[in-house]
Amino acid sequence: GVEIESLADALKVTLKAIKEKVNDPPYNLMLHTAPSDGKPYEYYHWHIEIMPKLTRIAGFEWGTGFYINPTPPELAAKILRGEE
């Protein structure tokens, strides 16, 4: 349907921008959904997360399991839109 086509278009544009503007990095694409235990989760919405691997893993990442993106989101958006 139209929603699937719109999602596909958005993913295509986003992944193309990452490839062209950020030097074609490897990335993880994750689809987050509500638990599948049959219970209703009205508060939960599914979403897609794209995590390009832009830096090397260092002590903080190894120790905490958290990854730091040194690029401010405003700058990343400008780069992906082709404004930088």
Tracing tokens 């002590």 back to the chain, one arrives at: 59
**Domain count along the chain:** 1
Among candidate residues 55, 70, 63, 1, the one with its CA nearest the CA of residue 23: 55
- What pLDDT does residue 68 have? 81
pLDDT tens across 15-74, in order?
A: 999 999 989 999 999 999 999 999 999 999 999 999 888 888 888 888 998 888 888 999
β-strand pairing of 47-52 with 27-32: antiparallel
Give the span between the Cα atoms of 3 and 37, in whole angstroms.
Answer: 26
- What pLDDT does residue 6 have? 97
- What pLDDT does residue 70 have? 83
CATH code for position 56: 3.30.428.10
Q: What pTM, to 2 d.p., does this model score?
A: 0.73
Domain range spanning residue 55?
2-81
Give the span between the Cα atoms of 50 and 18, in whole angstroms.
Answer: 10
